[in-house]
């Protein structure tokens, strides 16, 4: 466990969705750990992965801050547009969370 303080967003808000071959996708925080984890240790993503139904290239493009259609790794924001930077950044992030929230997992 990290002893340094962290901004809540970096640990508990989705930053990235990454494909885990043969297992689906895992939702990661800014530390590239499953949401809520602060460890500096390696984490096996497979037990945290789920199948996200409807995560198509078109959805990935809507979610990606870079408008990438790749479903391998989807970054919801960049450091320069972190949701805590300002109201416009929060609004953009919130729209992405609404898209994610409408998807189902299997």
pLDDT, residue 93, reads 97
Beta-carbon neighbour count of residue 103 at 10 Å?
13
Which pLDDT band holds residue 95 (cuts at 50, 70, 90)? very high
CA distance 103 to 53: 6
pLDDT, residue 6, reads 78
The domain ranges of the chain are 8-105
Q: Which has the higher per-residue pLDDT, 74 or 5?
A: 74
Per-residue pLDDT tens for 22-52? Answer: 999 999 999 999 999 999 999 999 999 999 9
- Cα four-point dihedral sign 93, 102, 16, 72: negative
Mean pLDDT of the chain: 95
């Amino acid at each position: 466990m990290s002893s340094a303080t962290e901004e809540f967003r970096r640990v508990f808000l989705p930053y990235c969705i990454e494909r885990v071959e043969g297992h689906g996708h895992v939702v990661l925080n800014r530390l590239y750990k499953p949401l809520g984890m602060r460890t500096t240790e390696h984490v096996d993503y497979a037990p945290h992965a789920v199948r996200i139904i409807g995560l198509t290239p078109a959805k990935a493009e809507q979610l990606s801050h870079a408008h990438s259609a790749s479903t391998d790794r989807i970054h919801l924001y960049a450091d320069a547009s972190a949701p805590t930077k300002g109201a416009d950044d929060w609004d953009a992030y919130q729209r992405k969370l609404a898209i994610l929230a409408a998807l189902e997992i299997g």
